[in-house]
Structure 1
Amino acid sequence: MGTAVDPRTLQAINAIESLKARYFRSLDTKDWSVFGSVLAGDIDVDTTSVGGDRVRGASNHVAALQTDYGNSVTVHHGHMPEIEITAADTATGTWAVQVQLVRPDGRRWLSSGHDRDTYGIRDGRWVITSMKSTRLQADPL
């Protein structure tokens, strides 16, 4: 028999899964206000392993993605979350991620890999405090 999970832990995991879903949806729909709201003000984002930069700060991350993806179509899918609540107000998560990117000139890419995140409670709600993206494969379509 498995060990019973505390209802607060399940609520936190559910909130974090919804948070990441909003991250992907708002990025793909270019809803930059919602996108910025899921990020900690001091977020640390490392995309160096996928050819990007390391960016600190929510406003810097939003600005970078507006520049990189603002005129492109993106479709992000996050699957198989592994969420661990590490304290009452912190957690870690690993997500299998698939991204389709269509540039304005018609070039297309499909990539698969993982996002490794940390989360924290700020002002009474969960936010993403750090993210490291890796890709196992990236192919032009």
Structure 2
Amino acid sequence: MMERTMATRAAIADIRALKARYFRCVDEKDWTTLATLFTSDATMFFPEHQTAPVSAREAIAFIATALTGGVSIHHGHMPEIALTSSTTATGIWGMEDRIHWTFSLSGGLGLEWLHGYGHYHEQYRLVAGAWRISTLKLTRLWSRTMKPARQT
């Protein structure tokens, strides 16, 4: 087992804080700050909604549209973070999310609510002294959704 040096512990703490900012920025709809958490060449992949990874810029635009009229709560749990070099790392995070849209504005997904569980699979890179997400893939193990009831 690899010895945990002070530098390793500091890097893992920084990556944990980076992911905490990711969740907060999504829930607060702070798209400007969210964009700063990624490397310039970062990709994101949501297999439920995409057939291939897209740039972080495109993915953030998708998230912003999907959350229009919604309130989201994202939780990240039990991170498995491994440094692969002094400037790269990988991580897997257990996750749970809940999203509730107002009835009149059901966002880009056309739902009233969504509740899901799964994992974020990520790669990180140290850029100019700060850890950034370079790849993000969200896999869901389970999700339940409800479409708005039709009004007459």
TM alignment of 1:24-43, pairs within 5 A: 24-43=23-42
SS across alignment from 2:84: strand
Cα pair 1:78 1:95 within 8 Å, conserved: yes
Aligned match of 2:101: 103
SS across alignment from 1:60: helix
Q: CA shift at 1:44, angstroms?
A: 1.2
Cα pair 1:119 1:130 within 8 Å, conserved: yes
Give RMSD over aligned pairs. Answer: 1.7
Q: CA shift at 1:5, angstroms?
A: 1.2
1:122 corresponds to 2:120: no
Normalization by structure 1: what TM-score? 0.90
Aligned match of 1:80: 78
The alignment covers a number of residue pairs equal to 138
Give the 3 Å change call, closer, same or farther, for CA 52–12 of structure 1 in structure 2.
same
SS across alignment from 2:49: coil
Aligned match of 2:67: 69
Cα pair 1:42 1:56 within 8 Å, conserved: no
Normalization by structure 2: what TM-score? 0.84
User: 1:68-118 CA deviation, whole Å, 9 max, x = no partner?
Assistant: 113211110000000000000000000000000112227112100100000
Q: Where does structure 2 lack aligned partners over 5 or more consecutive residues?
A: 107-111, 147-152
Q: State the identity as a percent.
A: 32
Aligned match of 1:52: 49
Give the 3 Å change call, closer, same or farther, for CA 41–94 of structure 1 in structure 2.
same
